Amino acid sequence: MARIDLVDLAHSYGGNDAAPESFALKPVTMTWRQGGAYALLGPSGCGKTTLLNLISGIVTPSRGKILFDGADITPLSTQKRNIAQVFQFPVIYDTMTVGQNLAFPLKNRGVPKAEVDARVRQIADLLDLTPHLGRKATRLTADAKQKISLGRGLVRSDVAAILFDEPLTVIDPELKWQLRSKLKALHRELDLTMIYVTHDQTEALTFADTVVVMHDGRVVQSGTPAELFDRPEHTFVGYFIGSPGMNIVPAEVRGREARISGHPIALQRSYDALPPGAKIEVGVRPEFVDVAAPAPGLLSANIERIDDLGRVRFARVRIGDTKFAARVPSGFSVSGDTAGLVFDPSHVHVYADSRLVEGTA
């Protein structure tokens, strides 16, 4: 397994002379540590597969370099990069048994038989495939076939990284849960660098210790699930991660105060040097705003509906024309069409042109 460095890496399918904004992957420099579990998360078309294909060598970058353990592998073919890949749909040999399928990537590289047998047993065991080892793959369900694909990806211990491109798409929802946790356990046990592409935040957050969020060809934040939740560095991360997503509302900010629709909200930090002319917004997760009875000191909102999610209730409200979500404290009964909103200042963030502003203590 390897540490992976992306150095000023960028790609345009229209060639290097294309307008910078049209690049499918805008320049990115970052390091993925050896043995880490990474998820590339973002909506369709944001550039996840492009980045994965640049790492695997399926696509050659318009600009920049990729290093594996410090060595520049950018000119190398996919075969020479020594990586394993698992795709959306099963890639297996129907005529072989499950065991033969799992053994294939090892036999192909001349690994001694005893080692092949031991590794196949270990991987089959981890994926609950042991009872099927002697069966022909052709008779298995789509779920089982995809498990074999996962196994074939995981079976080599000498790979620089394993790349997963939405590997659970064809899996039955019930089994998805199991496999997701299983992959996490496999990562711990096998100590491999894994990169997992998905548009599903639950999949990303349960699998990865570092989630790389992409938006419009850019890496907008890379961090632990907790960091993405607590401190979104871009409004897109706030909105995309969490359910409901973060509230992002236009505001005027001066010093330790934000004004939303003219109403003052206290901030924990001071914002004195906001970039002139920037679009200023305040972001706060619904979990950190409580609805209360309307009161003179509180920002007033119109209640549209209450979503009862069992363990927590969220009020969907409007502040003027802006949609907003807030927590309904347990025991609080909503009456009437209006409510007051109580903000937790330590979780109110300020954004200038969609980027988080630090503020001063």
Binding site for ligand ATP (CB under 6 A): 13, 24, 42, 44-50, 199
Number of Cβ atoms within 10 Å of the Cβ of 17: 7
- Least distance (Å) from ligand ATP to the CB of residue 235? 19
**β-pairing verdict for 247-250 and 313-319:** unpaired
Cβ neighbours of residue 143 closer than 8 Å, sequence gap 6 or more: 170, 171, 172, 175
* CA 224 to mean position of chain CA atoms: 10
Q: Nearer Cβ to ligand ATP, position 48 or 234?
A: 48
- Least distance (Å) from ligand ATP to the CB of residue 146? 18
- Least distance (Å) from ligand ATP to the CB of residue 44? 3
Q: Nearer Cβ to ligand ATP, position 18 or 67?
A: 18
How far is it, in rounded angstroms, from Cα 72 to Cα 54? Answer: 13
Q: Nearer Cβ to ligand ATP, position 42 or 90?
A: 42
Number of Cβ atoms within 10 Å of the Cβ of 150: 24
Q: Nearer Cβ to ligand ATP, position 50 or 221?
A: 50
* Residue 101 · residue 137 · CB < 8 Å: yes
How far is it, in rounded angstroms, from Cα 49 to Cα 225? Answer: 21
- Least distance (Å) from ligand ATP to the CB of residue 153? 18
Coil, strand, or helix at residue 178?
helix
- Least distance (Å) from ligand ATP to the CB of residue 203? 12
Q: Nearer Cβ to ligand ATP, position 44 or 108?
A: 44
Partners of 188 in beta bridges: none
